Amino acid sequence: MSRKAVVALVVVVLLAGAAAVYYLLNRPVESPAATDAASVSATGNYVITARDMTMGNPKAPVVLIEYAAPICPHCAHFNATVMPLLKQQYIDTGKVFYVFRVFPLQAADGVAEKLARCLPKEKYFPFMDQLFAHQQEWDPEFGVQDVRGDLLKQAQTAGMSEAQFNTCVADGSQDGAINQVAADGQSRYNIDHTPTIIVNGTPQDGGAEWDKLKSILDVAQAGK
């Protein structure tokens, strides 16, 4: 999904309460300190922080960062068709360290990210998988009108109560960090579409297609 210069205007908008819509402050926050970083590339083209959601061996020779939006159909396609192969052949075998970052294109993306982070950590990726698999049931891009209500249904399926949902969405403590991740991604990599795939700090054209991505990863691994 393409969104030219999207991050300059990206804010998360809360859909809490009985249909009330909150502003989400586009306030700046500091990037995580270097002491919080789990990994810093030799070239300085990426920093993996304690906030990042990851899979695989942090010492793998190849680091793949995916910037995705939960509402994005292309991201859902990548998650359904490419991610299983990527996990089986590269992540689970220790060849690739995978990092997932939400790049919000609409308000619902930020809310989805907040909900995923309010769940126990081990449920983060299963919940994202669920959201991608059921986009047509909650995603405003598919004409869904009651986004809050349908995201609540998704959260309840994952084990969250309505009270927990409301508390999570109304909690502004994550808002700045969500926006900052997107702003940092756009500033560092000039992201204008999702999914954007970064391999060892370099954005990859065509990286969302399996054959191309496999070739990219094999070359990157051979170069280590």
Which of these ranges, 32-36, 57-61, 145-149, 186-190, has the smallest mean pLDDT?
Answer: 32-36
pLDDT of residue 9: 35
CA pair distance 25, 186, nearest whole angstrom: 19
| SS3 of 3-35 | CCCCHHHCCCCECCCCCCCECCCCCCCCCCCHH
Compute the average pLDDT of residues 194-223. Answer: 95
**Predicted TM-score (pTM) of this structure:** 0.84
pLDDT digits (tens, 9 = 90+) for 108-139: 999 999 999 999 999 999 999 999 999 999 99
| Residue recorded with tokens 């669920």 | 130
CA pair distance 209, 172, nearest whole angstrom: 36
Per-residue pLDDT band for 222 (boundaries 50, 70, 90) equals confident
CA pair distance 152, 163, nearest whole angstrom: 10
Per-residue pLDDT band for 168 (boundaries 50, 70, 90) equals very high
* Helix H or strand E segment including 67: strand 62-68
CATH number for the domain running over 7-222: 3.40.30.10
Name the average pLDDT for the chain.
85
